[in-house]
Every structure is written in structure tokens, then in C-alpha cells.
Amino acid sequence: MTLAPAHVRYIKLGRGGQWETISLERGELHFGYSKVPHELALSCDRDQIRRYLIRQGRDPRSASEDAREVVDFYGLGENCLWITFAREHLWWAFARSGVVWLGASDDHGARYREAIRGWQRTDIDGAALRMATLSTKLTQLASYRRTICAVGCEDYLLRRINGIVEPLQAESIRALETLVDVTAESIRTLQWRDFETLVDIIFARSGWFRASAIGGNQKLFDMVLEQPTLRETCAVQVKATAGQRQLDEFVELADATEVFDRLFFVCHTARGRLEPPTDRPGVHIWTGEELAATSVRLGLAEWIVEKIS
């Protein structure tokens, strides 16, 4: 069901996220402001709450903002969409109207509302709402210094939660898919030495350094590489066309040396489906579309075009 809330609010679950765990695990929205009595908050009288806070020593501007947040927490109904950021994800929930008073504590909010069906961190289709994939126009709310606020980019937020792809994004995805398909076809036409060079550039741009010559008359493998940060060594086998037998032979030969942390088997045209050994982690297979997609991500499409021109 597509979400169409009447209101949308961001809520910070405690200072520094101190109530994130209890809120997410229990399916609750915890809120502080313990100096505002529960009975007064229930009235949702913003002006009365403001005057009360000023009498308690709060400056007028801060008292107005405090009163606004208290009235939002108590007064917004079950058709309000609440969002927060935690554990590198966007979380969202609808909350039951009743507010439960707990009193001041560092372990929980002074009051809470129960989240209907708990907190969610995926869109309605089940795709994770990771912060790294969201626009900063939304994720910048994570640095909001108060507790509750409206969401300026509400339309964008609802499209993401509802799993709606924007027309321009859909067009960009189609263009990228076409580029990957054409790149895969282009790679299959490369001369052998150019293909080996392409693979070498891919590893170099990924932070691997050759500890051997490339291709040619290498006795065992086409490349031996080192990753200085991870302190790993890998062997690379490059084939234009290969099947499962060639992959199995490469793995057996490489493991017999007892030297390599990882193995990479690269071919632009696979004969059938290639499967790594189930009992041997660290075996990577690059073929066809995956090899092309990696080339595109690393900015090598133009280099490939020049080699086939």
C-alpha cells in the first residue's frame, strides 16, 4: 500500500541517539522534555506550555520551540509519518495516539508513543533505505540540533519510501544499462593484449599492484598482485573464453602454491555458468556484464572505445 501521510516529522531519539536502541527494538518513539508535566502536555495548548517553560527559566525563543515540539508529539495523530536516522539507515513509523508517561531517566525518554507495526528501514518493496543512497537534502536532518521538525523534502522522502523511481532517474538507469551492454560487447572484440591491459588497469585503479609481469610467458598465472593496505596477495587468470574446467584447474593450481589470499578468474565469454568451489572463499569470477560494469564504474568505457575504433 502506498503511503500518503497527512503529516511528516523527523524525530531525534534522544541526545546523541541515546534512546535509539530502546526505541527501535521495542517499537516505540521516545521523547524527553521531562520538565513539561504530562497533564499540561496532554492539553496541547502551545501558548500555555510556552508560558509555563518561561516561568521555569527557559528563554522565550527556546520555550516557543520546546512547546511546538511537545504539541507535535502529543497532538499529531496516527496519520503522521515519523522518520529518524540510525545505524546508517532511514527508519520510518506511524505511532499510536496515546502517550505513555515514564518520567525522567537516562535510559529512556520521559514519555513515548507506540509505533504501529514497529519501525521500518526498508521501502514498501523491501529495499533497504541506506543513508549512503539517499540525497543529502534528506540526510542532513540527522544533524538537526533539536528534537522534532518538519521535513522540507517531503515529496522526495515519500517517493523513496514508496519505491517510486523518478522519471529522470529511470532514464539514467536505462542509459547506464545500455552502456554496460555495449561495453560488454566491445570488450569481446578487444585484441588479446588489449584485453590483458584492460584487466591490469582495472586492478591498478582498484588499489592492487603487480608483483609480476603481465601475461606473455608467465608459467603459472597471468598476474600476481599485492594489496598493500590489506596485505593480501592474489593470483589472476585471464581468458578470452573459458568454462568450468579451466576455472577448477586454476583454483587447484593456485591453492597448491599455498601463497594466495584471493584468486581472480577473468574471462569476457564464459562457456556456461562458472561456479567457485563451495569450500574455498576468496575466489572471484569476472565475466561478461560484471566485467563491463566494473569497467564503466572505473571510467574505462572511453579507453575501450578507443581500442576498438
In the chain, what are the domain boundaries? 7-161, 168-308
Angle at 191 between CA 248 and CA 244, to 5 degrees: 15
For the beta carbon of residue 182, count every other beta carbon within 10 angstroms: 15
29 or 308, higher pLDDT = 29
Per-residue confidence at 219, pLDDT binned at 50, 70, 90? Answer: low
Angle at 171 between CA 168 and CA 176, to 5 degrees: 125
Angle at 88 between CA 298 and CA 86, to 5 degrees: 170
The packing angle between helices 301-308 and 288-297, to 10°, is 110
Mean per-residue pLDDT for 101-109?
Answer: 93
What is the predicted pLDDT for the residue at 230? 87
CA separation for the pair 190, 196 (Å, rounded): 9
193 Rama class: left (phi>0) / alpha (psi -120 to 50) / beta: alpha
* Strand order across the beta sheet in which 209-210 lies: 209-210, 223-227, 232-242, 262-270, 283-287
- Residue labelled with grid coordinates 527559566: 57
179 CB-contact burial (10 Å; exposed 0-12 / middle 13-18 / buried 19+): middle
Per-residue confidence at 211, pLDDT binned at 50, 70, 90? Answer: confident
Mean per-residue pLDDT for 211-226?
Answer: 70
pLDDT in tens, 137-182: 999 999 999 999 999 999 999 999 999 988 888 899 899 999 999 9
CA separation for the pair 36, 39 (Å, rounded): 9
CA separation for the pair 74, 99 (Å, rounded): 7
Mean per-residue pLDDT for 118-128?
Answer: 97
Element (H, E) at 165: none
- What is the residue-averaged pLDDT of the chain? 93
CB 101 within 8 A of CB 110: yes
pLDDT in tens, 34-45: 999 999 999 999
What is the predicted pLDDT for the residue at 5? 97
- Reference 237, options 261, 214, 269; nearest CA is 214
Would you say residue 9 has pLDDT above 80? yes
What is the predicted pLDDT for the residue at 213? 58
| 168-308 CATH, one of 1.10.150, 3.30.70, 1.10.3470, 3.40.1350 | 3.40.1350
Instruction: Report how far apart, in Å, the C-alpha atoms of 274 and of each of 10, 85, 235 are.
Output: 47, 40, 18
Per-residue confidence at 208, pLDDT binned at 50, 70, 90? Answer: very high
SS3 label, residue 122: strand
CA separation for the pair 108, 32 (Å, rounded): 8
End-to-end CA distance of the chain: 50
Strand partners, 287: 267
Alpha helices (H) along 27-59: 38-42, 46-55
CA separation for the pair 72, 285 (Å, rounded): 54
Mean per-residue pLDDT for 248-264?
Answer: 93
CB 31 within 8 A of CB 11: yes
pLDDT in tens, 267-308: 999 999 999 988 889 999 999 889 999 999 999 999 999 998
- Cα within 13 Å of Cα(96), Cβ side: 12
Element (H, E) at 201: helix 192-205
What is the predicted pLDDT for the residue at 216? 45
SS3 label, residue 143: helix
Mean per-residue pLDDT for 210-215?
Answer: 66
Cell triple for 242: 573459458
What is the predicted pLDDT for the residue at 214? 55
